[in-house]
Amino acid sequence: MAILPPGAVAPPFTLHSTPDQTVSLSDFRGRNVILAFYPADWSPVCGDQLALYNELLPEFTRLDAQLLGISVDGPWSHAALSSERHYHFPLLSDFEPKGQVARSYGAYRQAEGVAERALFVIDGNGAIRWSYLSPMGINPGADGILKALDDIHAATGQEVS
């Protein structure tokens, strides 16, 4: 199954970010959202990839974008990972029904039961503007995300400070 392409409507979701808090895509209406699906907490590539994005949070904020990480891990695993790695963005649990949100974006690997390493940039109207499926073991970096956000700002003529 292919991941959702640019132009598609981003499927809505509400997922746990902590054991007692949830986050919905609609919470960020009017802002850009970066959805980073990844296979599993604690795996080495994820660590590097999320560490890089963590470092880029000021840049994402400057481009009016909220970063959300998503995997099928439970909220307690996410909490431990965030705390150890000092992540300052939500990690969402696509835990029950398992992988449902990943499936809705075409980013679920049935055989392994985990999310793909897939990136989506969604605009303030809830439309997917860019998507990218990375090979499982390869950290896709952030240049594609930044370019997609630049393109959104260029298209709307929005000034970026």
Partner 1 sequence: MSGALAVPVSDADHAKGSVDAPVTLVEYGDYQCPACGMAYPFVQEILQRSGEQLRFVFRNFPLSQAHPYASMAAQVAEGAASLGRFWEMHDWLYENQDHWTQRGAEGIADGVQAVGLDPMQLQEALEDNHIAERVRHDFMGGVRSGVNGTPSFYLNGQLYAGGFDTLGQALGQMIAQAR
Pick one of 109, 124, 132, 133: the residue that binds partner 1 (CB under 8 A): 132
Helix (H, G, I), strand (E, B) or coil at 106: coil
72 part of the interface to partner 1, by CB under 8 A? no
139 part of the interface to partner 1, by CB under 8 A? yes
Q: Given the residues 15, 23, 25, 46, select the one marked as catalytic.
A: 46
The answer to whether 40 is a known catalytic residue is no
**Does residue 128 contact residue 120 with C-beta atoms inside 8 Å?**
yes
88 part of the interface to partner 1, by CB under 8 A? yes
Q: What is the Cα–Cα distance from 16 to 90, expressed in whole angstroms?
A: 9
- Residue 115 burial class via C-beta count within 10 angstroms: exposed 0-12, middle 13-18, buried 19 and up: buried
Q: Enumerate binding residues for partner 1 (CB under 8 A).
A: 48-49, 51-52, 54-56, 59, 85-88, 132, 139-144, 146
